[in-house]
Structure 1
Amino acid sequence: MAKPDTSAYESFEDISGRLDQIIDLVRDKETSLERSLDLFDEAIALGSKAVDLVDATDFSAREQAQLADSHAPQAAGDGQAGPTTSGD
């Protein structure tokens, strides 16, 4: 099978919009299994293109810090393992 053509999608917004369309199509009970598999292949190609866009993006130091903060574990914020009880 040939790789799906993703040349029409130049931005994250374009890719995201098409992925939303693919989701709707795959959820439709009228979509055949074969068509769903073709859409899956297209979604994989779009995901790869999105990764390429990220790799090519030159983030500022501030943007890199914001990305790092958004991916930091939330549960380890105060250093406590969880609620404790005393006097048992």
Structure 2
Amino acid sequence: MSETTVHTFDDVMARMDDIVAAVRAKDASLEHSLDLFDEAIALGSKAVEMVDTFELSDREAAQLEETAAKDDSHSESTVE
């Protein structure tokens, strides 16, 4: 997966895992490792941007609120 095919946060994480594996490989040259390091820095910046601009859809927000309400009512009943 190249950097141009990274569109989602999961894609970023998968590519980062690939980079870690490649750098840890015994046959990885210093030059190649440095290129991968540069790519990892760019991917990290992209991931931060994705997190900073993330917005829930109305449906996702409603599901999150519903789940939180269920968790709250469940934790209150176990405290009593």
* TM bracket, shorter-chain basis: 0.5 to 0.7
Secondary structure of residue in 2 paired with 1:48: helix
Q: Which residue of 1 is the match for residue 37 of structure 2?
A: 40
Aligned residues: 60
Gap runs ≥5 in structure 2 = 69-80
Q: In angstroms, what is the RMSD of aligned CA positions?
A: 2.3
**Structure ranking higher in helix proportion:** 2
Tell me which structure has the larger Cα radius of gyration: 1
Which aligned runs of 4 or more in structure 1 are off by greater than 3 angstroms?
none
- TM-score under structure 2 normalisation? 0.65
Supply the distance in 2 between the matched residues of 1:52 and 1:13 (Cα, whole angstroms): 14
Higher relative contact order (CA 8 A, sep 6+): 1
Supply the distance in 2 between the matched residues of 1:7 and 1:57 (Cα, whole angstroms): 20
Query: Between the two proteins, what is the percent identity of the paired residues?
Result: 51
- TM-score under structure 1 normalisation? 0.59
